[in-house]
């Protein structure tokens, strides 16, 4: 448990000083994401999805001139909510 708390504190500190893609890469490296993704069904697709997230984070950071990971997540959540509302309303 102590290791988890230390990692979480480290990620919080990195979030204030890192770009979103750097923070995501830091988390991937710390949790050994490559090893975790290699287990189970369709690891290539899961890896591609994570790389896509890093790509979105990089593009967002570049577009927003240094936007934070929190900003990115907020906007992704709003896009998902908007898409769901448009689909439900027949506007999508």
Q: Is the pLDDT of residue 29 over 60?
A: yes
pTM for the model stands at: 0.58
Q: What does the pLDDT read at residue 12? A: 82
Confidence of residue 6 (pLDDT cuts 50, 70, 90): confident
Confidence of residue 58 (pLDDT cuts 50, 70, 90): confident
Which tops the pLDDT comparison, 80 or 18?
18
Residue spans of alpha helices (H) in 18-68: 20-30, 33-37, 43-63
Q: CB 61: neighbour CB atoms within 10 A?
A: 20
Q: Is the pLDDT of residue 92 over 50?
A: no
Element of type H or E holding 82: helix 69-88
């Amino acid at each position: 448990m102590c290791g988890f708390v230390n990692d979480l504190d480290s990620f919080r500190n990195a979030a204030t000083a890192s770009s979103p893609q750097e923070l995501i890469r830091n988390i991937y490296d710390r949790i050994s994401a490559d090893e975790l993704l290699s287990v189970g069904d369709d690891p290539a697709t899961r890896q591609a999805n994570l790389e896509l997230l890093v790509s979105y984070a990089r593009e967002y950071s570049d577009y927003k001139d240094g936007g934070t990971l929190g900003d990115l997540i907020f906007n992704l959540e709003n896009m998902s909510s908007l898409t769901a509302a448009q689909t439900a309303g027949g506007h999508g």
